[in-house]
Structure 1
Amino acid sequence: MKSTLLILFLTLIHLTSFGQEFDFKKVPLSNARVLANHMQVLAASYPLKKLSGLDLIKVQILSEKYDDAIATIEKEIKDKPKTEQIYLDLYHQYAKAKLAPNFQVAFKELYKSYVTKADDFQVLNLDDTLIARDGTDYFISDFERTYEGMTAETISNETAQNLIHKYFLKTVYESTRNLFFEAIKQDHKRRYRINDNIIVPMKDGAEVSVVVVERKETVKAKKPTILIASIYAGTNETGAMLSASKGYVGVITNTRGKRLSKGPVKPLEHEHTDVYEVIDWISKQPWSNQKVGMYGGSYNGFTQWASMKHKVHPALKTIVPMVAIAPGIDYPMENNVLHNYSYSWNFYVTNTKFLDFKVSQDYNRWDTLKNRWYTSGVAFNRLDSLDGQVNRLWNTYMQHPSYDDYWKKMIPFKQEFSKIDIPILTITGYYDDSQIGALYYYDQHTKYVKNPNHYVLVGPYDHWTAQTQPQEFLRNYKLDKTALIDIRYDLVYQWFDYILKGKEKPNILKDKVNFQVMGTNTWMHKPSLSAMTNDTLTFHLSDAKTDDFYALKSKSNASKISLTVDFKDRESMTNTGYYPWPLEKESINLKDGLLFKSESLEEDVIINGSFLGNLEFTINKKDVDYSVILYQLTPEGNYFHLSYYIGRASYAHGREHRQLLTPNKKVQVSFNNSKLISKKLQKGSRMVAVVNVNKNNNAQLNYGTGKEVNEENIKDAEVPLKIIFSGNSSISLPVWYSQKE
């Protein structure tokens, strides 16, 4: 062993105080022992003075300085939020076990003791963080891909640190996953009565699988029930356990065909009847007091609305839909533009009775597929032929590009909202991928019911954190402290206690619409979405140009600004930066689309709501998929991604029916459902708008022939698309001036 380490050490030269690189020689991945020695030497030769916190812990553990690592962890853990403590606690037990003669035995005992001493909520957090979001397989493959891809004989300081980071994650989780999985799951059995063998028959002869969870050592009595209706079989148990620990009976029902139920899995199609029937079943159980609440996010948010399509069950007293998708509205397409991320999701949820994690994490397959589709130019509806596996659900989507009866049967439609008379708390985020769906339900409910008992909470959260608890940073942006609320563990159950147990309403819900104003460390509270704004800033597109930017003007003008897109060109893409990640950056792609910049703002202002667009243009095609991205160019010169819109021009008048454009005839296309945001814009900021045509490997390509977009292919791209925007085109920002209050 010592001779091996010596040889390896000679291949890794320690960085001098002025050095920039390590000499590096790869060893076979198949030889785990040699690889471990190799990485140990790399970690041991890394300059510790450059490191602190978690980076230092990783190097100390890999270089087998376990006592030092334990001391660093114990120092770090005191000031960390609960979720970060979970990881540090794991590394703490790992480092301690490494000092024992038998690592496996020592770690098992240490972690079991750690879990036993924790309260219910700490253990549920462990499950949510380490099991439900288990990244072990990804950590392994990520390190191996990175290591195999290294070809240079020297590596930089940054590359060495990245390699240490990835090997650390692979090593720790690969050697402990089974042990902490078992410790947590056994502890659940100690705390809860879990009946996961229930089958409930549906009126049409189908069946659904149900799980009931109650807290042990509590007085048996009739209680309210909290229901989660989900397609994600096997991943919502902690939600039911949380309800049990909060004084409720927790129930999970899964989409027909999932878990123990017979028959095929049909996502989205039967929740509008099945969930209602499960609520009816709950109301007749001996442990039920005939009061049911529902909560959950994404698909689990959709199921709550679906349950009320035909009527609201008398036992259903409230719902808390978080980041709820709305089929046909924002999933699988957004403003009638169909994205391809749903392609792999279909296999993930339908391949097995539970979930096919292996297929969902086959990133190479999905990246290869979308790149192959893009470069080949074949029609979108042939995606599964390129994949070599029939995707039944995907082919169904192909048949329903507009908001037709297929989608309308899934959730309440128009007047069907008028009968929904229960209290509702909608939760979403400014960077939630399903924000449009979540707020669609609110918009329709308030449209068809006068002053409904419907509250909205929205803040600087994404699809995940709006269902759980936001962290200090979101996509590199540091959140205000007031935004760091525990949504799932505190707010949701405060709401249930308010509605189902007669306790006080959550303090943060001071009015019907409650939103955190980024950059102010405050929340605002308004009676409606429209009340969020008291003024509008309108900018018109102009052909006046300075360097790479056209100008945004305060008045309409006679400008003409041209954009040409060649769909035959598959060497490049457009509109690749529309997705907000990271939120703030030093630069944007100045060659992608038409870039417009305003003059500096003369005073502070808050952007509150969804920005609007009214684009006037002529085009040589019958249709176009376009996007508008809105940035704040800060006084410091950084670009902050505020919001974006992507949509199909032929559906600008409504998502139900397509109205093709007339080539070379001036047309006005408007939109008003961009992503909602609230953020303070400082004096001296400028607004930057990027207007673009969508052409990339993430969504359909609309060639503009007027044929069904799913059927178009590169043969329809002989003539490049040319669009000319006029100076009557405008972008309007809903804003709030505090002095006008």
Structure 2
Amino acid sequence: MAEIQVEFDVPAEMRDGTVLRADVYRPGGAGPWPVLLSRLPYGKQMALAIALLDPLAAARRRFMVVLQDTRGRFASEGEWEPWTYEESDGYDTVRWAAALSGANGSVGMIGASYFGNTQWMAALSKPPELKAIAPMVTWSEPDDGLWTRGGAIELGITAPWSLMMGADALMRRHSTDPATLVSSLGGLVQDLDGLADGGYGELPAGRFPAFVRHDLPELGYERSRREPEWARSCRVAGRHDEVDLPTFQVGGWYDIFTQGTLDNFTAMRRAGRSATLIMGPWSHTNQQHVIGDVNFGFGANSAFMGMRGPLHGLQLDWFQRTIGDGEALEPDTGRVLLFVMGVNQWREETEWPLSRAVDTDFHLRADGRLTQEPPAVAEQAEEFTYDPMDPVPTTGGALLMSDEFRPGPLDQRDVEAREDVLVFTTEPLTEDIEVTGRVKAVLFAATDGPSTDWVARLCDVDEHGVSRNVTDGIVRVRATPAEPAEHVVDLWSTSIAFRAGHRIRVQVTSSNFPRWDRNLNTGEPEESASTARVARQQVFHDPARPSRIVLPVVPARQEA
């Protein structure tokens, strides 16, 4: 094969005259070739972009590759506004890429997170040349993982992301004033480095002081509250039937957008589109086989995929089937590939969610028990005190935060030793119990204030007594003081086999900080609340108020 040709900073003019720039990789030899396009705000030559869409490997497979800096970022012109222009710029860029010298007129898109969403926005704009998208670890509803979760602010990702993205903004703003640039960047780095040591705790959380200090565009929570219609600029939920394209979606059980990936897949299947899904045990930025404290086995690594070959190769195979100009591989009608933690195995399915999974109640009981049997008689309510100035610290989970906070399954001993964390545990299991699907907690609870949060966490306790988090969720509630009410906490989805000899555990508390902002228990708006009060919490478990966790249990397969 002849030498691959690379052209840097190729200009593309958008409809309003703004010029965006892209690096273009052309295969050697004669074209024309289908185009793989990625539009990202992190720098088109950054290691992550190159790793996700290895342009040389793609070019060897006879794809032209286009990596573009989004508007207002790095080599591209314009003002940086997260999300605002991605639908219109996506449309214009697809049409431009399809007309490049050597292109055959067919475009596919690939990328993760922000540049997973740029694919959805481009697809919603309907450029005729866009034939397929492969979004990874991205959301569906921004108020379910991007900006908020259960009504609580996703402070863990909002603060570092907005500050990190501010570096390029400040360099542009002060490009002609070196002294001011050095000073402003120094202050930004100081705030970024200081998040874990108190910066996350600045109030009000809904009008975060660090963003005001540096006059930076933030991830979008604050703007979406000021301009609700603007939130449509990155919302996929409710619009899937407008996307008449095949999709290849990749997510992770410890990714900050786990449920968004699954929701996008199910919505596309519901709309009758060809949709492929891969869910590994991964976090947002780690697709290897050691996540948190757990080694899931080398087969879990995206470079291996349990003898299926690298994930990137599976994606290119799929693109060959959907837009490739060479001989197609087997027909693609969409499939599901899930990694089942606990047994640490990949398993092929034809659907999500699994229709054979049975929602099974595990009841919170007196003396910290967790049983499938509901309480037959009244049991004493559990009580604890929640102090927003001493919140439960974030320890593992599906998160993306400053580097001091590791994602994935971590030892929960320090969390479970706290007096403001209730713990409910089964007896050691006599046989494996597989939980694959969406998990929820139903809590009958009361607080003595006008507002509070309820957090529930599912854990796996191994044979040595080590408890590790599996999945969790939060719900922010308005309350009538001291009046019990039913609250449903969405713990999103997982796939794990709780092994025989292990125990299933549920934590109930009122904070997970700084992953989610603290409820100050006053009922004041997040954009102005700065004074906290201590709340006295009750969780009930009696015949009339059966607090429980609902697990989608997959029956063991019967041998023929």
What's the TM-score bracket when you normalise by the shorter of the two chains? 0.7 to 0.9
1:195 maps onto 2:7 in alignment = yes
Q: Structure 2 CA distance, aligned partners of 1:618 and 1:704?
A: 12
Query: How many Å separate the matches in 1 of 2:505 and 2:227?
Result: 32
What residue is the counterpart of 2:262 in the other structure?
439
Tell me the equivalent position of 1:40: none
Cα distance in 2 for residues equivalent to 1:418 and 1:252: 27
Contact conserved, 2:361 with 2:550, CA < 8 A, in 1?
A: yes
Which of 250, 254, 273 is 1:427 aligned to? 250
Q: Is the aligned partner of 1:259 residue 2:77?
A: no
Q: What corresponds to 2:392 in structure 1? A: 574
C-alpha separation in 1, matches of 2:223 and 2:90: 26
CA separation in 1, counterparts of 2:187 and 2:282?
A: 24
Partner of 2:416: 590
SS at match of 2:72: coil
1:322-341 to 2 correspondences below 5 Å: 322-326=136-140, 327-338=142-153, 339-341=155-157
Preserved contact between residue 456 and residue 489 of structure 2 (Cα < 8 Å)? no
* Letter paired with 1:379: P
Q: Which of residues 450, 456, 467 in structure 2 aligns to 1:628?
A: 456
- Alignment partner of 2:123: what SS? coil
Q: 1:347 aligns with which of 160, 163, 181?
A: 163
Structure 1 match to 2:357: 534
| Counterpart-to-counterpart distance in 2, 1:199 and 1:638 | 55
Identify the residue that residue 208 of structure 1 maps to in structure 2.
Answer: 20
Residue in structure 2 matching 1:452, options 273, 279, 286: 273
2:128 matched to 1:314? Answer: yes
Contact 1:336–1:401 (CA under 8 A) maintained in structure 2: no
Shift of 1:399: 4.5
Equivalence for 1:246? 61
**Aligned equivalents of 1:646, 1:195: Cα separation in 2:** 47
| Mapping 1:186-585, distance limit 5 Å | 192-215=4-27, 218-233=28-43, 234-235=45-46, 236=49, 239=53, 240-310=55-125, 312-326=126-140, 327-338=142-153, 339-352=155-168, 365-366=191-192, 368-369=194-195, 371-372=197-198, 378-381=203-206, 383-384=208-209, 388-393=213-218, 397-401=221-225, 404-414=228-238, 416-447=239-270, 449=271, 451-466=272-287, 470-471=288-289, 473-486=290-303, 487-501=310-324, 502-505=327-330, 512-531=335-354, 533-542=356-365, 544-545=366-367, 549-552=368-371, 554-556=373-375, 558-559=378-379, 560-567=381-388, 570=389, 572-577=390-395, 579=397, 581=407, 583=409, 585=411
Aligned residue in 1 for 2:445? 617
**How far does the alpha carbon of each residue in 1:656-701 deviate from its partner, in whole angstroms, 9 at most, with x for none?**
xxxx3333332211134x2422222222221111111016344322
Q: Structure 1 stretch 451-460 or stretch 339-348: which is displaced more?
A: 339-348
Instruction: Check conservation: 1:607, 1:679, Cα contact below 8 A.
Output: yes
Residues 297 and 321 in structure 1, CA contact (< 8 A), matched pair in contact too: yes
Q: Of the candidates 669, 673, 676, which is equivalent to residue 487 of structure 2?
A: 669
Partner of 2:175: none
**Cα distance in 1 for residues equivalent to 2:114 and 2:186:** 16
SS of residue matched to 2:73: coil
User: Residue 381 of structure 1: CA displacement?
Assistant: 4.0
Greater mean deviation of Cα atoms: 290-299 or 483-492: 483-492
Point out which structure has higher relative CO (alpha carbons under 8 A, 6+ apart): 2
Give the C-alpha shift of residue 421 in structure 1: 2.0
1:485 CA displacement: 4.0
Q: Report the AA paired with residue 432 of structure 1.
A: D
Residue in structure 2 matching 1:682, options 482, 485, 499 = 499
Q: 1:645 to 1:402 in 2, by over 3 A?
A: farther
SS in 1 for 2:67: strand
SS of the residue corresponding to residue 596 of structure 1 reads strand
- State whether residues 532 and 608 of structure 1, in contact with CA within 8 Å, keep that contact through their aligned partners in structure 2: no
Give a deviation string over 1:315-344, Cα, whole Å, max 9, x none.
111111111144343213333322143223
Whichever of the two has the greater Rg, that structure is 1
Alignment of 1:67-78 (within 5 A): none
Deviations 1:167-207 (A, max 9, x none): xxxxxxxxxxxxxxxxxxxxxxx954222232222223333
1:477-516 deviations in whole A, cap 9, x for unaligned?
Answer: 222343234344311111111222352249xx99632202
Q: Deviations over 1:618-670 (max 9, x none)?
A: 22223222221111112332223221113323xxxxxxxxxx33333322111
**d(CA) in 2 for partners of 1:497 and 1:670?**
44
Q: 1:724 to 1:535 in 2, by over 3 A?
A: closer
Report the Cα distance in structure 1 between the residues aligned to 2:122 and 2:170, rounded to whole angstroms: 22
Q: Which amino acid aligns with 1:484?
A: N
Matched, 1:735 2:553: yes
The answer to whether the Cα contact below 8 Å between 2:450 and 2:481 also exists between their aligned partners in 1 is: yes
Provide the C-alpha distance between the structure 1 equivalents of 2:258 and 2:511, rounded to a whole number of angstroms: 21
Q: 1:222 to 1:277 in 2, by over 3 A?
A: same
**Structure 2: tracts of 5 or more residues without a match:** 173-181, 304-309, 399-406
* Partner of residue 150, structure 1: none
Which residues of 2 match residues 176-191 of structure 1 at below 5 A? none
Give 3-state SS (helix, strand or coil) of 1:490's partner.
Answer: helix
- Aligned counterparts of 2:119 and 2:187: Cα–Cα separation in 1: 28
Q: What is the CA distance between 1:432 and its match in structure 2?
A: 1.4
- Seen in structure 2, the aligned counterparts of structure 1 residues 403 and 434 have a Cα distance that, compared at 3 Å, is farther
Moved more, 330-339 or 267-276: 330-339
Q: Higher helix proportion, which one?
A: 1
The 5 A counterparts of 1:24-173 are none
Aligned to 2:306: none
Higher strand share: 2
- Give how far 1:588 is off: 4.5
Give the partner amino acid of 2:362. Answer: F
Identity of aligned residues (%): 20
Scaled by the length of structure 2, the TM-score of the pair is 0.83
Following TM superposition, by how much is the alpha carbon of 1:386 offset from its aligned partner in structure 2, in angstroms?
9.1
Q: Report the Cα distance in structure 1 between the residues aligned to 2:81 and 2:412, rounded to whole angstroms.
A: 45
Partner of 1:530, secondary structure, is coil
Cα 1:281/1:511, change in 2 over 3 Å: closer
For residue 241 of structure 1, report the CA deviation from its aligned partner: 3.3
TM-score, length-normalised on structure 1? 0.64
Measure how far apart 1:249 and its partner are: 0.5
Whether contact under 8 Å (1:600, 1:684) holds in the other structure is yes
Structure 1 counterpart of 2:150, one-letter code: N
Map of 2:436 onto structure 1: 608
1:242 Cα shift? 3.4
